[in-house]
A and B are shown apart, each in its own frame.
Chain A
């Protein structure tokens, strides 16, 4: 049993407060560092953290219990093996890897080996959907894991990776570049171009380009910036949403690694436009291995006067960026939940209005934009709105970076214009024999063959970039079950329709799997799904039954009247 020294813990927390600040917003980073030290969050550690931040211990317990990366009861192993359970990795043979991991370690998922070396867990989307099955070992990523590789990975862990044949960094597979990905800009070039204009002019350029949020919702970027710029406040914030948690999305992982400076330029341009002095880079917990690259990039920018005081010689323009890590909560991709998380609370979405552009981080005007949006904004400031408008449709300007995975010959990252039909896209990725395509991840729509002439654009089928191709042999009921399990796990629990409704939908799918669901009951479930869409307050809840509804509408005859396999 671990003996805890209260005095030492108090001193550690005091030191961490010097790094992260002494208000509530420091709670998550402090807990993350303490878990790193102790292997889990013992009660005493949580109590002392609460005292140090002058909040009730129940508040700390509530936060620690919300995020899946925090452990409260049992010390985690020296190596935590997190196997991705998303549908793309499922299609690539995750179940066999899981079984072999259990065989080699002699434990089940959710358990820790007796020697304290290994903890085995499932996790949602690691952003490696085109190279699945994927597994994260602490902050080290493994792609295309097969059962025969499992013992070698475990041996490497036992040797503390002093010698390993597995690559340290798994490269992304960019299959097609367009005007965005093949830019030739140098760090700071976009920012300096923007600083030649007034704040209102910068927003005017973004407005003229018609740039809409690349996270999927498609809110006009210029409107968000204009409202935040016009709002009255001494403190304003720019937040980059790098919480790429949508199953099937992995393009941000590539952008963060290879276009870091363009994204940071975009954040700084936004800060200039709205009058912000501080930015946050909210990076998902699963991308911890990218943190050091981000910190290095920020340090170089400070040295080159692209961050800090009087940036690029512009008198009075001061701005800096802090990296904050998520802790394994999909809902934190929703902007108000993300802000709650930044403030040190459970990642529960807020009611809107008020909107973050006025009442964001600590009630101050805040803009939250996607990684790709900032990249696009930087390029637009240099190359102009007209250049951006050469591609796309009337209502969806420009190109979009897609993450394409599943049953196709060439999965990977593609930059394609908005307005492309699903059939054209499938031809591009060599997946023409698909029977269905999931557009927009788990919260998106499942489109069947009959609708492959529809376009991917904000005015038709919107997408944050996730495209999962399902081949002719895929069991669509299993797909629906995978997505519903995801939402049951990731619902924040605030709204009853989402919290309990999704559980009922999943139960219904399990009944269908057993071949014991009447059409009348199925229709009831579909009405319940519509209620969840209407009665949930955030985007996660409203979109959680999308896959359920679209799969059942399109594949009813495949799903009904099943005869279960004999055990």
Chain B
């Protein structure tokens, strides 16, 4: 079964997403910062990454996406409320936000699972 890495500084959100994914049969690994996320990625080699934007630094998610894409072809689902919190208007972009899907929080579990299934196919 596919392995998904969830990177988000909100532990409650990580737990909630983990429950949804585990119930759907995915293996889950977790991290709560960009630095920890990169370490877990190297160790676990997940098939997909669910990534937040604002963690210790407001741009951590963008930076991690760039770092991940530079070293692997792993699909990234960016899941963030950065737009609502800051009023900023972001979306995926090949160079600065190199993610495969950009979704706003909150997200319905069914929609999240559908996006992940599509990315993994």
Interface residues of chain A, those whose CB is within 8 Å of chain B, are 198-200, 204, 207, 220, 222-223, 226-227, 229-233, 353-355, 357-359
* Total A-B Cβ pairs within 8 A: 53
User: Are B88 and A231 in touch, CB under 8 angstroms?
Assistant: yes
Q: How many angstroms from the CA of A359 to the CA of B87 in the assembled complex?
A: 8
CB B56 to nearest CB in A, in angstroms, measures 11
Q: A230-B97, A232-B93 are in contact. Are A355 and B62 (CB under 8 A)?
A: no
Residues of B in contact (CB 8 Å), total 17
The 10 closest A-B pairs by CB, nearest first: A354-B87, A358-B88, A226-B59, A230-B96, A229-B96, A353-B86, A353-B87, A223-B59, A230-B97, A232-B89
A204 to B87, CA, bound (A): 24
Known A-B contacts: A227-B88, A233-B89. Give 4 more (CB < 8 A). A222-B59, A231-B90, A353-B88, A358-B89
A355 touches B96 (CB 8 A): no
Is the CB of B85 closer than 8 A to any CB of chain A? yes
Inter-chain contact B96/A226, CB cutoff 8 Å? yes
Q: Does B91 contact A (CB under 8 A)?
A: yes
CB distance from A238 to the nearest CB of B (A): 16
Contact A223 B66 (CB under 8 A): no
Looking at the complex, which one of B57, B86, B95 makes contact with A358 (CB distance below 8 Å)? B86
B59 contacts across to A, CB distance below 8 A: 222-223, 226-227, 230
Q: CB-nearest residue of chain A relative to B70?
A: A200
Neighbouring B residues of A231 by C-beta, 8 Å: 88-90
- Min CB–CB distance A394 → chain B (angstroms): 15
Q: How far is the CA of A226 from the CA of B53 in the complex (A)?
A: 12
In the complex, chain B residues 22-74 whose Cβ is within 8 Å of any chain A Cβ: 57-59, 62-63, 66
CA A231 – CA B87 in complex, angstroms?
11
Cα–Cα, bound, A232→B88 (Å)? 9
The one of A200, A222, A354 in contact with B88, judged by C-beta atoms closer than 8 angstroms, is: A354
A232→B95 contact, CB < 8 A: no
Identify 19 residue pairs between A and B in the complex whose beta-carbon atoms are under 8 Å apart, listed by A's number.
A204-B66, A222-B59, A223-B57, A226-B59, A226-B63, A226-B96, A227-B62, A230-B93, A231-B88, A231-B89, A232-B91, A353-B85, A353-B86, A353-B87, A353-B88, A354-B86, A355-B86, A358-B86, A358-B87
